[in-house]
Structure 1
Amino acid sequence: MYPVLRDVDTMMMGRFRPLLGILLAVIATTLVACGGGPASKAPPTYTPAVLQQVELYSPGVANLRDRFPELAGYIQKEDWVNVQSFIHGPMGELRARVNRLAATLLPKDKEKAQALAQELYVHLERLDEAAANRQQVIAGQEYRNALDDFDSFLSLVPTFQ
Structure 2
Amino acid sequence: MKIFRPILSLILVFATTILVSCSGSTVSAPPTYTPDKLQKIATYRIPLDVARQRMSELGQYIDKEDWTNADNFLHGPLGLIRRDLTYLSKALLPDEQEPALNAAKDIFKHFENIDVAVDQNNYSVAIDQYKKVVSDLDAYSSLIPQTQKPVDRADQAMKSAKNVFKGVQEEVEQTVDRIEDIIPDFDENA
Q: TM-score, normalised by structure 1?
A: 0.76
Q: TM-score, normalised by structure 2?
A: 0.65
1:158 is paired with a residue whose SS is coil
Q: 1:106 aligns with which of 75, 79, 93?
A: 93
Indicate how the Cα distance of structure 1 residues 34 and 118 shifts in structure 2: closer, same or farther if over 3 A, else same.
Answer: farther
* Offset at residue 123 of structure 1 (A): 0.7
* Offset at residue 133 of structure 1 (A): 1.2
The CA distance in 1 between the partners of 2:113 and 2:42, in whole Å, is 31
Q: 1:86 aligns with which of 73, 76, 83?
A: 73
1:91 is paired with a residue whose SS is coil
- The alignment status of 1:69 with 2:17, answered yes or no, reads no
- Report the structure number with the largest CA radius of gyration: 2
Native 8 Å contact 2:106 2:136 kept in 1? yes
Residue by residue, what CA displacement relative to the aligned partner does 1:117-139 show, whole Å, maximum 9, x if unpaired?
Answer: 11111110110111111111111
- The alignment status of 1:56 with 2:43, answered yes or no, reads yes
The CA distance in 1 between the partners of 2:32 and 2:21, in whole Å, is 27
2:117 paired residue number:
130
User: Aligned letter for 1:37?
Assistant: S
1:37 paired residue number:
25
User: Aligned letter for 1:75?
Assistant: I
* Ranges of 4+ aligned residues in structure 1 off by more than 4 Å: 31-34
Indicate how the Cα distance of structure 1 residues 34 and 129 shifts in structure 2: closer, same or farther if over 3 A, else same.
Answer: farther
The CA distance in 1 between the partners of 2:21 and 2:135, in whole Å, is 44
Residue by residue, what CA displacement relative to the aligned partner does 1:2-36 show, whole Å, maximum 9, x if unpaired?
Answer: xxxxxxxxxxxxxxx9xxx8xx68xx46x645642
Would you say how many aligned residue pairs link Structure 1 and Structure 2? Answer: 138
Which stretches in structure 1 are left out of the alignment for 5+ residues? 1-16
What RMSD in Å do the two structures reach over aligned CA positions? 2.2
Which stretches in structure 2 are left out of the alignment for 5+ residues? 1-6, 149-190
